[in-house]
Every structure is written in structure tokens, then in C-alpha cells.
Amino acid sequence: MTAVTTVTTTGATSALCASVGLARASFYRRRRPAEPPRPHRARVASPRALDPGERRAVLDVLHSERFVDQSPAEVHATLLEEQTYLCSPRTMYRLLAEAGEVRERRDQARHPAYVKPELVATAPNQIWSWDITKLKGPVAYLYFSLYVILDLFSRYVVGWMVAAHESAQLAERLIGATAQKQGITPHQLTIHADRGAPMRSKLVAELFTDLGIAASHSRPRVSNDNPFSEAQFRTFKYRPEFPDRFGSIQDARAICQTLFGWYNDTHHHSGLQYLTPADVHYGRAAAMLEVRYRTRLAAYAAHPERFVQGPPRPETLPEAVWINAPTKTARQDAPGTTIVTPDDPQHGVIERLNIIEENRSTVIASSVASLH
């Protein structure tokens, strides 16, 4: 600004301003002398305004036992019928607003702020997700309830049940039997579910307390907070063996027995490097990936020209499976972000993931060395 003022000549202001990156309008505005502050003038009250005594009289009438439950419009109409005029209904509203006495008179639902669940599993039996879906019965409006408990890391269905209805007692029995079958120890497991009545029942909550299981719930009307159970139901119901209707509850149980056997032991899951959930859940994943890798290496040795992307590389399972994973920036820069870790609830999982990342190269190198 000073340089432009010093060297400026007639007709050269625009070029000089452009050379220093200053808008010409800004130059002239800053060079203009400052105007003296304008004197403050007190606001003159309108001649139509009520004086303090009249305002107090209106509020006294509105606060009276006779009119305390009526709207200003009703009070105004009633007083006019009695040949009394205090002020307009709008003035009554204005006086009540100044006194902080205007609000919605009907009861309003006040929803609490629900926190987005952030869950991570780095091994089987750390996070389970469970849900209930309906199965069509033999006639219209008759449904059976299918309870399914899914392991988050392995996608293995650890427990299921077909019942005639939804019940907290049945859910408690299924979760307890499944936890016993999988050998769950206290403070090992977190179970995630939506906000259905069985999921939030007192019986299930007491069972979690007795077994040392942490509970997690989806936000209301947010299906993405329980995506793994929803995806499992879709895979299940799109199988050719899944009928449009089940003849009876015994028929539903027999068909589900076959379908869950296929899902756990035969189905190659796309999120598990096309391994079966049983292979991942029971620790056979590394051996299966090793067999695949050796097979591809043998094929590469026989016909390397067919592998346009070079030698095959070892496949690895995902190191962590998230529900609502925070962004990378949030995980690094927001230490206050709440992350649920069932095996270490007092600490974040970032340290553990870093250790896994450091050991990953060592594991791969060891696998390759064992082939030679």
C-alpha cells in the first residue's frame, strides 16, 4: 500500500496495484480518510407503546387463574365480549415472549443424541452381531422368527434359532448357550445389535452383566450400523434352496440347518479372500492361503508369460474388521475418539494395528522363504 502511494502516477494506479496483488478498489478505500464516529442517539419510544404500568396490567391478566391456560387470542376475544380492551393479541404474545413464557404447549418428543457405534475386531470372538428376521409361514400373516448371531471378524454364524415369535427369554437362552459353546470368558466379547425389544430387554442386559459381555446398539433407524447381519440375511435369503414360504416351523428349522451348514463350511466369502467363515473362525485361514499361494507359484513356474502382473503375491486376511470405521485422519488426529475394543477397553486399537502392520512384512517374508 505504501509503495503504491509513493510511486503512483496518473494512469499507472491499476498497473501498480496489479503488480503487488492489490485490488484498485481496496487501494482507494484504504486511502480514504476515516469518518468520525456518529453520535449515538437514544431510541425514542413509539407513542403507541404501552407504558410500564399498562404492560404490568396485561401480564397480570394473562397470569390470572381465569386466563392462565388460555391463548392470547382467546383472552382478547373474552375481554372484548366484556367490553374491555387492553391491547392486541400480538402485543400480548410480545409481552409473554419478553418474559420467557412463550413455548410449544403440547408435549414434544426430545430425542437424546445417539453416539455412532465404532467397533473393531482383530480376531474371532471379539465382536458378535445379532439380529432377528422374519420367515414366511405356510399361510399369509403367519411368520417365524429366525435369530442369528454372527462373528464379526470371521463372518461365522456361531448361533441361530427358529422360533414362533420374538422373545427376550428365547434370545437370552440362545446367547447364553452360544457363549458357553464358544468358550467366552468375561470381558472378552462385545455383542452388537439394533434397538429391537429383545435386544434392549432387561433379561438380555442382565445376562450380559453376568457373563461380562459388553453391549452395543445401533442408532435408531440407521441400518448401516448393523451391516454384517443385514448382509448375511441377504446372502441367506437369495440362495436357491430358500423357499418363498415354509411349510411349518419344523420345515424352517430343517432348511436353515442345511443353509447354515453351507454358509459356514462351503460358502467362500468375498470379504475373507474367498475363504469359508469356518476356516477363518477356527484358524485354518493361514494354511489355506499357503496352499493357494503354492499352487499359483507352481502355475507361474510352468507358464510365467500368463501372469501379466508378475509373480503371484501371498494373500492376507483383513487385519481388522470395523463397524463405522473412523477416517484415517480421525484415528490419527482425534485421540478423544471413542473406539470399542473388547479385549482392551481402556486403550485404542491403533497401537495394536501398528504392531500388526510392523509384523506383516516379517510374516510374508517368512512364508516366501519357506517355499525355497
Q: What is the pLDDT of residues 140-150, one digit of tens each?
A: 999 999 999 99
Which H helix or E strand runs over 75? Answer: helix 72-81
Report residue 328's pLDDT band, with 50, 70 and 90 as the boundaries. low
Region of 161 (left: φ > 0; alpha: ψ -120 to 50; beta: rest) is beta
169: helix, strand or coil: helix
Looking at the DSSP bridge assignments, the partners of residue 149 are: 130, 159
Confidence of residue 339 (pLDDT cuts 50, 70, 90): very low
The predicted structure's pLDDT at residue 5? 57
Residues 6 or more apart in contact with residue 222 via CB below 8 angstroms: none
Q: pLDDT over 90 for what percent of the chain?
A: 67
Average pLDDT estimate for 288-296: 95
More reliable by pLDDT, 247 or 329: 247
User: Which among 124, 126, 148 is positioned nearest to 285, based on CA atoms?
Assistant: 124
Residue reference for cell 445379532: 130
Q: Is the pLDDT of residue 63 over 60?
A: yes
- Strand partners for 146: 133, 162
**Of the candidate ranges 64-73, 117-126, 281-290, 293-302, the one whose mean pLDDT is the lowest:** 64-73
The residue ranking higher by pLDDT, 24 or 220, is 220
